[in-house]
Amino acid sequence: MVLPPVDYQAEPIRLGGVNYFWLDGQLLDAEGRTVTLRAKPLRMLEVLLKERGRVLSKDRLSELVWPDAIATDESIARCIADIRKVLGDKKHQIVETFPKQGYRLNVSEPAGSTQALPRRMLWLWLAAACAATILSVNFWLDEPRWAAPETSLALPVAGQHESVAILPFAADAGQNRFLAAGLSDDLEIRLAEMSGIGIVSQAQTHAMAAVLDSPVELSQSLKARYLIAGSVREDGAEIAVSVQLIDGSDGTTVWADRFQGARNNFLAYRQTLPEALVEAMHITLDTRDRQRLSLGGTSDPAAFEDVMRARRELSAFTYDGSLSAERFLRRALEHDPDYARAYAELAAAYAIRLENGWIVLSSADAEKAFYFARKALELDPELWLAHYALGRLHSVVPTGDTAAALKHLRTAMSLQPANDDARIYYAIVTTMAGHPEDALPIFESVMATHPLPPFWYYIGLSNTLFHLGKYEEAEDAVLTCTQQMPNSPYCLRTLVAIYARLGRLDDADWMLAEYETLGYEVTLGALMASAIERDPSMRAFLEESYRMAGIE
């Protein structure tokens, strides 16, 4: 059967001096290739495009982009940051911010050579759209994402290490998706405690899995020797869980297992998973590793699920998220008063709250945070997260101790050598103490092994580069941070200081406007109260930078 021709009309637009097309709800570049954006940022771009030249308030954007909900300022800011990232809008000239008013998309007349989308490129776009639809459907199948190939290709993987990446576990409903996320989180936590295993963080893995569909390509990109895939689905009164271990060198499945039974019996199965995976990977563990592997953390399913819920809330990196996480963690301790990890997670949550000024009574919050961390160590003296939390707490509380912070962070590194969070925070504290020249090699060595380091790694790196006088490099690092976490007040404060030192006072004013829009006070006293530097000369240098930006 021959289908009638369809007339697709692409709208030519020009953003920041670059030609694009808008076609059927998608942004295409001048060659007809789709510019990748997540659903909400893409919808926001469409709204801004329809209302081009007009300033749209946050309330109006929330109404148009989230018609069935009320969007938070953080959600709107993240969408704006995503749009700016794909458009290369570092100076915020394409998507312009009007403090306390909203945002405006600036569109100019397209160059005459791109008035029509090439027919060949149109068909390529249509084919890509169809392929994307097929892939998105495949992702949510209730079995693990990749089936084992019939034959092994035995392809070499350049730069591959004996490390593990845990892929997003598939699920078919809301509660099951939460359980799938909790299971993958738990595997990451427990495997990362093994000194013989390097874990690629799920933040990196999820980002790469969204754009790469081949296990071999994903393994190469993440430098992971093994991939762990899984799925969770409900089957009447029971749940079914499938887990498989994939050899990243050729995409073959080297181990697979399945649980089907009552939800209350799942925790016992979960306890056996890490040991089975370690055995399948033929990784040699020392005595301490095997002791850690035998520890289940808790035997109470409700406590376990509450800790997993708390970790999800903390990942949002907002004050409301930290409050919600605290409620889940306190409830977990009601279920199991001896759950060491719940205490450690509480201490870490308080540390993040203190670092960002999300507090009401700083002295009371600090006392509670130290209590939680020490209680965790009392229950489990070798719990790395408790030492890590104490390191962060000693570095940020007014009565803290830099030497004690570094001591606990060194202990955390020794207990979990494959986890770089403690190492990066050690570098951050080293800079805070007045030794950025010693911190920079640590940042460089760690970040060289991370395809997609988390945003706070870039915060620490940018601060170190700033105090070394490497302002352009510091700007690049902090702009990468804002792409991941556009509502991070620390990133905006750092950019103000950097632009002041570069003599770009207009850019510093823009950052101050963004900072104020998020509800923060723009005074020298308030900015210095949020500074993490402990060294007097570094504090004086930072204060002078703010004064150069015109802040009093």
* Six-digit token string for 183: 């299971």
Range in 27-31, 157-161, 226-230 with the lowest mean pLDDT: 157-161
At residue 144, the pLDDT reads 42
Range in 119-128, 290-299, 316-325 with the lowest mean pLDDT: 119-128
pLDDT band at 123 (very low <50, low <70, confident <90, very high): very low
Greatest distance between any 2 Cα atoms in the chain: 79
**Quick check: 160 pLDDT over 50?**
no
Range in 332-341, 449-458, 459-468, 475-484 with the lowest mean pLDDT: 449-458
Per the model's pLDDT, the better-predicted residue between 539 and 142 turns out to be 539
* Six-digit token string for 522: 């723009």
Domains of the chain: 11-131 (1.10.10.10), 161-294 (3.40.50.10070), 339-548 (1.25.40.10)
**Quick check: 159 pLDDT over 80?**
no
Average of per-residue pLDDT across 282-292? 73
Task: Return left, alpha or beta for 282; rule: phi > 0 is left, psi -120 to 50 is alpha, else beta.
Answer: left
Mean pLDDT score across all residues of the chain: 81
Q: What does the alpha-carbon distance between residue 34 and residue 20 come to, in Å, rounded to a whole number? A: 10
Dump pLDDT digits (tens) for 50-109.
888 889 998 889 889 888 777 777 778 878 988 998 898 888 889 998 877 889 999 887
Range in 113-117, 274-278, 490-494 with the lowest mean pLDDT: 113-117
**Quick check: 118 pLDDT over 70?**
no
At residue 124, the pLDDT reads 41
**Quick check: 147 pLDDT over 60?**
no
The DSSP-derived string for 459-521 is HHHHHHHHHTT-HHHHHHHHHHHHHH-TT-HHHHHHHHHHHHHHT-HHHHHHHHHHHHHTT--
- pTM passes above 0.75: no
Dump pLDDT digits (tens) for 385-409.
999 999 999 998 887 789 999 999 9
